[in-house]
Chains A and B, each alone.
Chain A
Amino acid sequence: MTAPLLHLDSLTKLYKRGGLFGREEFRAVDNVSFHIHDKEPQVFTIIGESGSGKTTLARMVLNMIRPTTGTIFFKGQDLASIRSGGARRRFMKEVQPIFQNPFEAFNPLKRVDRYLYMTAKNFTDAHSPAQLDAAADAALNKVGLSIGEVRGRFPHELSGGQLQRVAIARALIPGPSMIVADEPVSMVDASLRMSIVNLFRTLRDDLKVSIIYITHDLATAYYVSDRIIIMRKGEVVESGLARVVLENPQHEYSRLLKSAVLSPDPRGQGVLIGDSAASQQARASPHRQTINSQS
């Protein structure tokens, strides 16, 4: 039996707050377990509001912070056993991150192509400038860019969507088997959002990369993901196949999340479709009716 790609076993992260007096503990991630098979690449989505522990979980999977209790196995290897620089680099070759805000992820004073060259130098056997160039270009081609568009450019010269694609290209250079994407579309325009999300589909289907997609946007999650977990205050409240969970959420909180998603369907009725007192009142307001009768 082969080990799963990623296996999380009752993971907990505690943060301690306060000083000498009144020390309190904060459970950022509370007893989370899941695994991702290596048979077929998949998009695994983690959904939750701010403060639900999504990012802490991602950082633990990336081995940037250590869990308080619990273990993470990547391809059968316990992440806690990674101690030497060589082992760390081998792990980083397999698991790569993409961050939320591309404008903050790149140093504004550094040329964008440098990130690509550095990654190629550290993680592949390319050493000569020509080889580095070729490695960067190959990765950029996978995301629909070419080295000519990026060479010598500073981050401010590229648009947010382009920059995010460069970030994805950089993550692809080592040839990872898993990418952890922490809210990759929340800072990107709605019209560019789909190009990033479509790219994830391509990565999964063509390049066989598994993706952990962290988001609070249920609509794109439904569009792209295979499996899903919904988190709240550090705990997993619901998990399963994405389509099944999102079409028919069981947990109270998942239902609340789904009901809060704005659908493009009301098509400008002008009033939020909802049962809250506020929207009912707004719908019944006399101003509203005069406008509707005029139009």
Chain B
Amino acid sequence: MAQIPASSVQNNSHVLETHDLRAYYRMRYFGIDREVRAVDGVSMHVRKNEVYGVAGESSCGKTTFIKAIAAAIRPPLEIVAGHVNYSFIKGDLYAMPAAERSAIRWRHLSYILQGSMNVLNPVRRIHKTFEDFAFRHMNLGRAEFDQAVKHHLERLRLPAEILRAYPHELSGGMRQRVCIALATLCKPEFIIADEPTTALDVVVQKDVLAMIRETQSEFGSSMIFVTHDLTVHANVTDRLGIMYAGRLVEEGRTADVFANPMHPYTAHLIASLPKIGDTQSRNALSGSPPNLADAPKGCRFHPRCPLAMEICRHENPALTTLAEDHRVACFAASTKVQPANDEGSGEAKTLEMAR
């Protein structure tokens, strides 16, 4: 991790690379420091035209990870160490001036958020929202911009009348579709989708997922898709990363992860999925994810793990490539897995951040 690439992404088929990314919530009350390690040493990459899924329970650091790669950092959240590189910028995301950073947003990097009701301004008509988000990034005249928006909606098979509507006049599925249209208007290279279908009905969910997938492959964008629902991942993503307590514990092609889960946590998540036509009793994992302010030492999963060994209590397993394109952080999965030199010492120095 010492030889961080100084400029841009090394492998040019990668759109996003993170190196040992650490984002902590740091608080100081009455002289007592409290540190919540919500993202702790995540290294991953997203390839071109790929949908990369991030799965995990609530409070596993999924949303913090997204905030970190979107540079949506506000105190008490801090990037403590690590690098975020995109193919469309030179150098580290956090090394660039704030003005440049806000210029890439939406143009190159956009997001589809959870709960579209809260994303769209309730007192502005939809076309005003389109202007608010995208007008300055498009570099078009007013009339041309309106034309571009109409054309874009047409491509996504949305009626142009919705532009005159207020958000409350649209159904939940329609609002989510508007959010997708909004996020893809500038044809960004990279889209972040944070639980885009969690609050939707099954029928609507399927349509919205198909639309996301279709839009993504039409524009050739890459995408990070976050949801806790593994059936959605099975249907939408190309590669899948499983997060547990701020760390990536398994990563691989979605088909491989489902067919051959190597981490006990992943194996449990997949085994507990109910299916129509199958009534055999399924066990739920007991316990809940650890409090990240006081995470267990060693592998963070060991208090709940059926395969926990002595070494798991003391050492944190490194994410190791065990099969082609399949990385796992578990000592029980293979003897090849070595302890990571970790716990934030040495390399993890506070990064001077250009705010």
Contacts and interface: CB of A to CB of B under 8 A. Distances in A.
B58 A160 contact: yes
B172 interface: yes
Interface string A236-269: 0000000100110000000011101111111111
Contact of B237 (A194, A222, A261, A270): A270
28 contacts: A49-B202, A49-B203, A189-B58, A190-B228, A190-B229, A191-B268, A191-B272, A191-B284, A195-B284, A195-B286, A219-B273, A219-B274, A219-B275, A223-B282, A260-B202, A260-B206, A261-B276, A262-B234, A262-B235, A263-B231, A266-B235, A267-B234, A267-B255, A272-B210, A279-B210, A281-B218, A282-B210, A295-B253
B194 to A, nearest CB: 15
B201 interface: yes
B51 interface: yes
A264 B230 contact: yes
A271 interface: yes
A211 to B, nearest CB: 16
Contacts of B35: none
Interface of A: 49-50, 144, 159-162, 189-195, 197-198, 201, 216-220, 222-223, 243, 246-247, 256-258, 260-274, 276, 278-279, 281-282, 285, 287-288, 290-291, 295
B60 to A, nearest CB: 9
A267 B209 CA distance: 16
Contacts of A270: 51, 236-238, 254
A interface, by DSSP: helix, strand, loop or mixed? helix
Closest 5 CB pairs of A and B: A268-B254, A195-B284, A268-B255, A194-B284, A267-B258
B210 A194 contact: no
Contacts of B256: 268
Contacts of B213: 271-272, 278-279, 282
Contacts of B238: 268, 270, 291
A220 B231 CA distance: 13
Interface of B: 49-51, 57-59, 172, 201-207, 209-211, 213-214, 217-218, 220, 228-238, 240, 253-259, 268-270, 272-277, 279, 281-286, 288, 325
A219 B210 contact: no
A189 B240 contact: no
Contact of A218 (B202, B272, B285): B202
B274 A222 contact: yes
Given A191-B57, A195-B284, A261-B276, A268 B202 contact: no
A268 B253 contact: yes
A291 B268 CA distance: 29
B228 A191 contact: yes
Contacts of B235: 262-263, 266, 272-273
Contact of A219 (B217, B237, B254, B276): B276
B49 A161 contact: no
Nearest to B276: A222
Given A190-B269, A279-B214, A268 B276 contact: no
Nearest to B232: A262
Nearest to A192: B284
A267 B254 contact: yes
B234 A264 contact: yes
A189 B325 contact: no
Nearest to A290: B49
Nearest to A287: B49
A272 B234 CA distance: 9
A195 B287 CA distance: 10
B259 A218 contact: no
A140 to B, nearest CB: 15
Contact of B269 (A191, A273, A274): A191
For B234, B257, B268, the residue with the greatest tally of chain A CB atoms inside 10 Å of its CB is B234
Nearest to A281: B214
Nearest to B277: A247
A233 B201 CA distance: 14
Contacts of B234: 262-268
A243 B232 CA distance: 23
A287 B288 CA distance: 40
Contacts of A260: 202-203, 205-206
B288 A161 contact: yes
Nearest to B201: A49
B236 A191 contact: no
Contacts of B276: 218-219, 222, 246-247, 258, 261, 263
A144 B287 CA distance: 11
B206 A282 contact: no
A272 B236 CA distance: 6
B255 A269 contact: yes
